[in-house]
Structure 1
Amino acid sequence: MEKNKYTIIARATPLGQGSIGIIRISGNKVLNVIKNILRLNYIKPRYAHYLPFFYKNKIIDKGIVLLFPKPDSFTGEDILELQCHGSTILLDLLINNIITIPGIRIAYPGEFSERAFLNKKIDLTQAEAISDIISANSKAALFSAVNLMNGKFSLLLKKFSNIIIDLRVQIESFLEFDLKINFDIFCSNIKKILKKLLNNLINIQEYVNNGIRIKEGIKITLIGPPNSGKSSLMNIITNKNISIITNIPGTTRDILRENIYINSVPIEIVDTAGIRNTNNEIEILGIQKTFKEITRSHYLFLVVEDKISENNLLKIIKIKLKKFLKNTPMIILRNKIDMTNNIPEITNNYNYVTIRLSIKNMKGISLLMNFIKQKIIFTNNNEDQFTARERYIDSLNYIYKFLIKSQKNFIKTNSIELLSEDLRLIQKELDSITGKFTSKDLLKNIFSQFCIGK
C-alpha cells in the first residue's frame, strides 16, 4: 500500500490540556525521530527511559520514551512513544517538529489499527474491537469488546471455516482423483456435513445478535390496549415519571423512551400508544408508530388487564400482532390482579411467558424484574459474548440463505460440482468478515470511523 511508505505520527491522548500527553510514531523513520528529538543514536527497546525532548536546540520537556521494534509491536512496524506533559502547545511543537523529517506525516484516522491489520497482527474483527472498547458505554459492553479483541468471534468463524475447507477438500479430491468411494454414501455424508454447518451457523448468528444488543443496548417495547398499565409500568421500571397517566383511553400518542442500566447492561424501555380501533387521526398516527417500533425491538411486553378474556387476548396476539411475532420474543403481562384477586405468578400460556402482577399495589413487580435480569439480560450477557456489528449480521444472513439454497439444490441434484462452487463463494463471504478477503472501500469505511492515534 502506497501510504505505508510513510512513517506516521499522531497524538494518542485526547485533545485539550491534561497532565500527560502521548505521541505515537510508527514506521521506518523512528530512528530518525530518536536522533532528532532525543539527540541519541540508540535506546534500549521495551524499556522506559526518562529523557529530555529537544525542540531545535532547546530542551522543552522531559518525559518517558518507549521503543517497540518491528515485528513485535502493535502495528508490526517500529513504534516510538513519547510521554510528555499534556500541554497542547508542547505537543503541537513536538509533532510539527517531527513531521519536518522527510518521510513522516500525520496519521489518518484509524491508521495505526489499519497497519496492524495489514501487517497481520490482528484480523478485521479484532481491529473493530479496539473502537468498541473506546466507545463502550457499559461494563458488559467493555468486557464483550475485549472478548472480540481477544479473538472469541474469530475462533468461532475459524471452526466454521475449517468444516467448509475440509468439505471442499473432500469434494475436490473426489472430482480430481478416481477415488474408490461409493457415490451414494459420499453424498449422504455431505448432506450430514451441510446440516452440521447450518446448525453451527445458527449458533454463530445468535452470538452475533446478542453482541449487537450488548453494544447498542437491549430494546424492550411496551405494547397493549389503552389503559392496560403500560405508562405506569414504564415509570416503575425506569423509576421516573416519564409517561403521563390518566384514565382517558389514548393518552399516550407518541413514542416515549428511556435508557436505563440493569446489571451494567444498557436497556431501552419504550412506551407506545395503546392498540385499539379509533377514528382519532392523531391517535391513529401514534398506533402506526407503535407497529413500526415493534419491528425494531428485541423483546415485546404485551400489557393487558388480568380480566381480559382468552378470546380477546388471542385476537390481539393472532390478528393484530401476528406478523410482528416471527422473530421477536413476547412476554404477556397480566396487570391489575388487585381487581381479579389472582396471585403474582409466572406461567406459560400459548407458548408465551405470562407474568401476573399489580402495578397499582406493586405486587409481582419483583417477579418481572427478576425475569428481566435472569432471562433477558443473563441470556444476552455471558462471559464468552463479544460485541458485534451490522456487517457481521449481513454477511452471516447472506451465508445462511446461500447455504440453504445449496443444501436444497444438492439434495435435489446430488451435483457435487455445483456444491463445490457454492462452498467457494460462501468461504469468500466468510473471509470478508475477518478481512482475509476485503475490498479497499470496506477497509476505508471501517478505519475512517476510528479516532486519530488508534
Structure 2
Amino acid sequence: MSAYAPIAAIATAPGRGGIGVVRISGADLSGLVRRLFQRELTPRHAHFLPFKSAAGELLDEGIALYFRAPHSYTGEDVLELQGHGGPAVLRRILDNCLAAGRDLGLRLAEPGEFTRRAFLNDRMDLAQAEAVADLIEASSVAAARGAMASLSGEFSARVNDLSDRIIHLRMLVEATLDFPEEEIDFLEKYQARPTLDALTADLSTLIAQARQGVILREGLHVVLAGQPNVGKSSLLNALAGDDVAIVTPIAGTTRDKVVQEIHIDGVPLHIVDTAGLRETEDTVESIGIARTWQEIERADVILHLQDATQPGDELDAQITARLPARTPVLKVFNKVDLLPAPFTASPGELGISAKRGAGLDGLRAELLRIAGWNPGGESPWLARERHLHALQDAAEHLDLAAQHASQDDRVLDLFAEELRLAHDSLSGITGKFTSDDLLGEIFSSFCIGK
C-alpha cells in the first residue's frame, strides 16, 4: 500500500443528512477529474454537476470543488464531491470514484490519513493536526474554542518561541566550545544565566497553562464513594440535573457504576456513582463493590460521601484508610438539611444537601480547585498529556543546564547537551522530531475522511 497513492473516503459522519461529502486527495487528480466529469474543473470554484457512473447512470447531483496543490487541506490536489447525505448515495459515489481511479492507485483512506498528509506536507504542525481531532470531539463550547485556538497555531507559536530562544543560546554555546579559552567568560559575556532563567520562567508558565488545557480536553474522573444510603446517587442526579441513577431507601440499590458527564465552567467532569462500600455476602453486590474500588484507583478526585446525621463510624474510618494517598479526597457530608443546627465543616470537608441543592455550588467550585483548574488563568488552547510530558521533560533539562552553569568548573559541553535535549523535547510537540510509531498512534484515533 503506497503512502503516496491517491486516497478517497466519505468525509461526513455516518447516518443520514442533508449533505454528504466524498473527499479525494492525491499528487495529481486532473486525470481523475476528466474521467468523472468529461471536462476540466476550475480550481477553487463550485461546480453544480451530475455525478454519473462510467456507464452513464445518474448517481446524484451536487457540488464539485477542485483544489490544486499546494493550496488545499492536504497540500496535494483535493477533490470534494458534495451530494445528498444518504449513506447509500454516498457509498455509490465513493465506489464510482474508486473504480474510475483504480489504475491510478486510488484507494480507501485510513483513519486520519488526510490530516496526516497535511502534516507531512507542512500544511500544519503536529499540535495543530491533533487539534483537528480535538475540535471534532469537543464536548463543550470552551473545549471547541480551545481546540480552534490550537488549530490556529497559538499553542505552537508559544512552543516555537521557546525553541527559537533555546536554539539561539545553543548557538552561542557551540561557538564558545570552539574557543576553549573563552569558556570562563561565556556566561557573563552573553548573559547566559539571565537568558536561561527567563526561559525557565516562561516554560513554567506554559506548563501551568498546558495543565489547564489538559483538564479542558480530558475532563476529570470524579468518583462518588461511601457507605450505602449516604446519598451518592442523589448527588449524581443533582449534579446532572436529571434522574440518571435510581434512588431508593433500600441499601445496596446501586449494584454497578453509573457514569454521567457534566460540565462546570466548560470543564467536562465524568461523575461515577458506585456501589455502597460495606461487608456483604450478596454475590452481585460484592462484584459491584469490587468494581467500586477499581474506579477509586482510577479517580482524579474522590468524593467520600458520609451521612451528616450519623456520626462517623469504624467503616468510614476503614474506607478513609484504604483510599489512595496520591488522589485528592474531599469529605462530603450529605443531608445537612436534616440537622437541627447549621453544619460546621472542618478543613477538607463540605456540607451539602443533594435533595435540596444546598452547598452544590460550593462543591462544584471545590472540585475545580482540587483539580487545579483556575478559571482566571484559563488556557486559550487545548493540550494533551503528551504535550504536558514533553514540556515537563524540557523543564527538567533546563534545570540540569542551570546546575551545570552554576558549577565552578562550568562544564559547557554538558550545558550544551542539556539545551539540546530540552530543544528536542519541545520539537516533539510540533512534530519536528517525532517517531513514525507516535504518528501512527496519533492519527489512528482520527475518524476516516479527516
- Regarding TM over 0.5, the answer is yes
Deviation at 1:22, TM superposition (A): 2.4
Q: Residues 113 and 358 (structure 1 numbering): CA distance in 2 closer, same or farther, change over 3 Å?
A: closer
Identity score, percent: 35
Deviation at 1:435, TM superposition (A): 0.9
Deviation at 1:436, TM superposition (A): 0.6
Which of 424, 431, 435 lines up with 1:435 in the alignment? 431
Deviation at 1:418, TM superposition (A): 0.6
Q: Residues 64 and 284 (structure 1 numbering): CA distance in 2 closer, same or farther, change over 3 Å?
A: closer
Deviation at 1:15, TM superposition (A): 4.8
Residues 139 and 265 in structure 1, CA contact (< 8 A), matched pair in contact too: no
- Aligned partner of 2:211 in structure 1 is 209
Deviation at 1:257, TM superposition (A): 3.2
1:256, 1:286 → 2: CA distance?
A: 11
- Aligned partner of 1:82 in structure 2 is 81
Partner-residue secondary structure (3-state), 1:220? strand
Residues 259 and 267 in structure 1, CA contact (< 8 A), matched pair in contact too: yes
Deviation at 1:362, TM superposition (A): 4.3
Residues 10 and 90 in structure 2, CA contact (< 8 A), matched pair in contact too: no
1:30 maps onto 2:29 in alignment: yes
**CA-to-aligned-CA distance 1:106-160 (integer Å, 9 cap, x gap):** 3333222111111101011111222222233333332222222112321221232
- Aligned partner of 1:159 in structure 2 is 161
Residues 28 and 76 in structure 2, CA contact (< 8 A), matched pair in contact too: no
2:333, 2:310 → 1: CA distance?
A: 8
**CA-to-aligned-CA distance 1:190-248 (integer Å, 9 cap, x gap):** 45544444443343333333333333332223345776544543343234262656586
- Aligned partner of 1:43 in structure 2 is 41
1:294, 1:53 → 2: CA distance?
A: 55
1:274, 1:17 → 2: CA distance?
A: 43
- Aligned partner of 1:421 in structure 2 is 417
1:448, 1:426 → 2: CA distance?
A: 28
Partner-residue secondary structure (3-state), 2:136? helix
- Aligned partner of 2:141 in structure 1 is 139
1:69 maps onto 2:72 in alignment: no
Partner-residue secondary structure (3-state), 2:160? helix
Which of 384, 387, 402 lines up with 2:382 in the alignment? 387
Partner-residue secondary structure (3-state), 1:445? helix
Q: RMSD across aligned C-alpha pairs, in angstroms?
A: 4.3
Partner-residue secondary structure (3-state), 1:452? coil
Of stretches 139-148 and 367-376 in structure 1, the one that deviates more from structure 2 is 367-376
- Unmatched segments (≥5 aa) in structure 2: none
Q: Residues 16 and 101 (structure 1 numbering): CA distance in 2 closer, same or farther, change over 3 Å?
A: farther
1:279, 1:57 → 2: CA distance?
A: 71
1:187, 1:344 → 2: CA distance?
A: 64
Q: Residues 161 and 281 (structure 1 numbering): CA distance in 2 closer, same or farther, change over 3 Å?
A: farther
**CA-to-aligned-CA distance 1:249-281 (integer Å, 9 cap, x gap):** x887865433334455432122456779x7989
Which of 433, 438, 441 lines up with 1:445 in the alignment? 441
1:56 maps onto 2:29 in alignment: no
- Aligned partner of 1:114 in structure 2 is 116
Partner-residue secondary structure (3-state), 1:269? strand
Q: Residues 368 and 438 (structure 1 numbering): CA distance in 2 closer, same or farther, change over 3 Å?
A: closer
Residues 32 and 101 in structure 2, CA contact (< 8 A), matched pair in contact too: no
- Counterpart residue type for residue 22 of structure 2: I
2:51, 2:424 → 1: CA distance?
A: 49
| Structure 1 length-normalised TM | 0.78
**CA-to-aligned-CA distance 1:427-448 (integer Å, 9 cap, x gap):** 1222122111112222223223
1:12, 1:225 → 2: CA distance?
A: 49
Q: Residues 15 and 97 (structure 1 numbering): CA distance in 2 closer, same or farther, change over 3 Å?
A: farther
